[in-house]
Amino acid sequence: MQCELCGRDCECKPADVDGVRMMLCPGCMRHGKGVKETQASSSLNQGTFPGRIKKPTEKDVYKDMNKELVTDWNEIIKNARKKKGLTREELGFKIGERTVTIGKIENGDLRPSDKVVKKLEKELNIRLIEEVKSVSDVSVGSQSARGLTLGDFIKKEK
Ligand SMILES: [Zn+2]
């Protein structure tokens, strides 16, 4: 290969001379800026971001799966209260909650806290907490009396 500046036959290397790419011998290299030929600009940006892939977090998925409020807890509370002949005000007084709160709970607008659930269960003699079966336990014959499938239950919970 010949040097493009002096024409000498040598091991020339690419260099930048006033913006022009030329092949220069070691003697002429000082006239230009050295160019690293391995720096192909296109292949630089690929696959060089370690640590960007997030592992899916599985925490807390099954945390609340064992005991859940029954699907129509608000209806159960309302019906049980009426059976006992209590007004919302009276029920609220018995369990130490405001009438407005009882109303919201019965409308399904407010999910009662565990504490309130326990008080309601005791006061109205009802059951609001049920064990949630794991999916493998669900077979064709294990639908509840209300005809709800586990799928219905999950949909409602969301
Ligand atoms: Zn030269």
Count Cβ atoms below 10 Å from residue 3 Cβ, excluding itself.
21
CA 23 to ligand 1 centroid distance, Å: 8
**110-136 tens-digit pLDDT:** 999 999 999 999 999 999 998 776 665
**45-87 tens-digit pLDDT:** 455 555 555 555 555 454 545 788 899 999 999 999 999 999 9
CA 61 to ligand 1 centroid distance, Å: 71
Q: pTM for the whole thing?
A: 0.44
CA 25 to ligand 1 centroid distance, Å: 4
Residues near ion ligand 1 (CB < 5 Å) are 3, 5-6, 8, 25, 28
* DSSP structure string for 99-153: HHHHHHHHHTSSPPPHHHHHHHHHHHT---EEEPPPGGG--GGG--TT---HHHH
User: Looking at residue 97, what is its pLDDT?
Assistant: 97
User: Looking at residue 43, what is its pLDDT?
Assistant: 44
